[in-house]
Amino acid sequence: MWTRDFAFNRQLALLTFLLFFVVLANPSAGPAQPITADINVTLRPVAEKIPLVTDINVIGNSVFICTQTGLLLRKSLASSSTTDFSVFLDLSAKVGTLGTGIPGLPGLGYPVPGTYDERGLLGFAAHPGFSQNGVFWVWYTNINEHTAVQPNFFQWLVSTSDPWDTTQYNHVDYVQEYQVVNGVPQFRRTLLKIKRPYFNHTGFQSLVWSPELNTLVLGLGDGGSEYDPNNIAQDNDQLSGKLLKIDLSKLIGRDFTGSAPVATFTDLASQQVPAGAITSLVKGMRNPSKVHYELVNGDGQGNNNGQGNGN
């Protein structure tokens, strides 16, 4: 589960973020060095009073900050101010209003309807050549795109053999491509539109560029409810609950903005998505809250929150 720092409520918490600057005793040496007492760490505040942060990325001399409500903020690291960030891209209209359609959840500590949500702007990733080509991607949920009848939210149900009826869904996830033109982000295309059964366990901070694979990787949660009652994460045909490779070389010229949302690899094939364009690297993802690749050696790490175990 997300911590309550990410829960939507009427009184937004104000968060302060610190950027860690690590100075090695011998800066000319390679980046892979053992941690010793010779490493000096200096902390300084970079940005504060930003509510509901879901992703942070440092690119060049700027830090890009996603907020759950749909704002992508940009902050210069050259500035000593902690509040001079600007709105780089406003996706709030596409995201919708947090809390919409969510019942009271007393079992989770939120008895008042609409006071908890895990949907929103969930991720940002920049092309490694961003400073030259201005290309980047965002991942967000469209709260207002859902079926009239939605799957029932199961609280504290340990297991069930009922598969997910994918004709019913709570919202649609979008992965979209933008390019900065004359300093302004311009929409280019939609790479994925994914049906999601419930409002929670979407994953966040897990859209990244993989230097190992030289393309995008997206970590999707199993779609929510409690204990994955529809066994989505272990279903090899489902997109949710997977670490997905999005092979951009196989999606040249493809734009799925006007296409129907998909839930499975079978759905992708029915839309003539090329084989291998979207593939599963890992299944069984519950609620990934961070995917990261080392720039030096391409090693990848991911955090996958568990269910009811405090992870």
pLDDT at 14 over 80: no
Return the structure tokens found at 61. 């001399």
pLDDT at 237 over 80: yes
Superfamily in which the 52-304 domain is placed by CATH? TolB, C-terminal domain (2.120.10.30)
Region 110-122 average pLDDT: 93
Instruction: Report the pLDDT value the prediction gives residue 56, as an integer from 0 to 100.
Output: 94
**pLDDT tens digits, residue range 148-195?**
999 887 655 555 567 889 999 999 999 999 999 999 999 999 999 999
Domain boundaries along the sequence of the chain? 52-304
- Tell me the pLDDT band of 39, cut-offs 50, 70 and 90: confident
Instruction: Report the pLDDT value the prediction gives residue 153, as an integer from 0 to 100.
Output: 76
Region 31-44 average pLDDT: 73
- Tell me the pLDDT band of 23, cut-offs 50, 70 and 90: very low
Region 68-91 average pLDDT: 97
